[in-house]
């Protein structure tokens, strides 16, 4: 009987322990579930907070980028305006005094050369007329009629002449001219 009592006490203790274990298991399971739900809730809350922070950060970055773009656009407009103003001033600038002096010197040199060319042309025309006048006076004085252009270099081949005519030879024309000594002795 004692054994039976001990066995019954042991069985009761085992049942108590089993019940206690079952209770602790249920408590731990409930705690684990609660902890899992808390962790899940905190993860969802953290994710939502992160998304909210991300959206806020993205909105801030977009606003900053738009402001920077507007600032750069305004700066670009100012730079383009400054460039166009500098270009206008550069194109409308006054000449430097040394450039004006150089241009005046070049214009003066051109005028002097034009005057020199005109003078040379005038002198050339004068000497041509003088030479023509002297030749006409010489021809009138000595009754000479020059025959210009009568020499035909091909005449010997076509006509079969062996010698050119005496009137067309340059030596005979030179012999017809009076010498300076002859002109001086006759008072010409």
pLDDT in the model for residue 146: 64
* pLDDT over 70 at 78, yes or no: yes
Band of residue 168 on the pLDDT scale cut at 50, 70, 90: very low
For residue 109, give both structure tokens: 């040199």
**This prediction's pTM:** 0.35
SS3 181: helix
SS3 164: coil
Question: What's the mean pLDDT when you consider all of the chain?
Answer: 81
Residue scoring higher pLDDT (166 or 99): 99
Distance (Å, rounded) from C-alpha 151 to C-alpha 160?
15
> CA-CA-CA-CA torsion for 70, 73, 78, 83, nearest 10 degrees?
170
The answer to whether the CB of 151 falls within 8 A of the CB of 168 is: yes
The answer to whether the CB of 176 falls within 8 A of the CB of 144 is: yes
| pLDDT tens per residue, range 50-62 | 999 999 999 999 9
* % of the chain with per-residue pLDDT over 90: 50
How confident is the model over 35-40, as a mean pLDDT? 92
Distance (Å, rounded) from C-alpha 79 to C-alpha 76?
5
The answer to whether the CB of 161 falls within 8 A of the CB of 155 is: yes
* pLDDT over 50 at 91, yes or no: yes
Residues 6+ apart with CB under 8 A from 18: none
């Amino acid at each position: 009987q004692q054994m039976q009592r001990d066995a019954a006490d042991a069985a009761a203790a085992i049942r108590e322990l089993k019940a206690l274990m079952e209770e602790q298991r249920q408590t731990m399971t409930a705690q684990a579930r609660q902890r899992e739900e808390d962790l899940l809730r905190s993860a969802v809350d953290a994710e939502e907070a992160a998304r909210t922070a991300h959206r806020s950060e993205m909105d801030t970055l977009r606003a900053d980028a738009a402001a920077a773009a507007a600032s750069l656009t305004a700066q670009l407009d100012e730079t383009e305006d400054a460039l166009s103003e500098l270009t206008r001033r550069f194109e409308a600038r006054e000449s430097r005094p040394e450039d004006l002096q150089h241009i005046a010197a070049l214009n003066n040199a051109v005028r002097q050369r034009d005057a020199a060319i005109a003078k040379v042309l005038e002198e050339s025309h004068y000497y041509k007329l003088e030479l023509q006048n002297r030749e006409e006076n010489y021809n009138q004085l000595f009754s000479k009629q020059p025959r210009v252009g009568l020499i035909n270099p091909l005449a010997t081949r076509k006509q079969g002449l062996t010698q050119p005519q005496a009137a067309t030879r340059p030596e005979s024309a030179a012999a017809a001219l009076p010498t300076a000594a002859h002109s001086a002795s006759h008072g010409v």
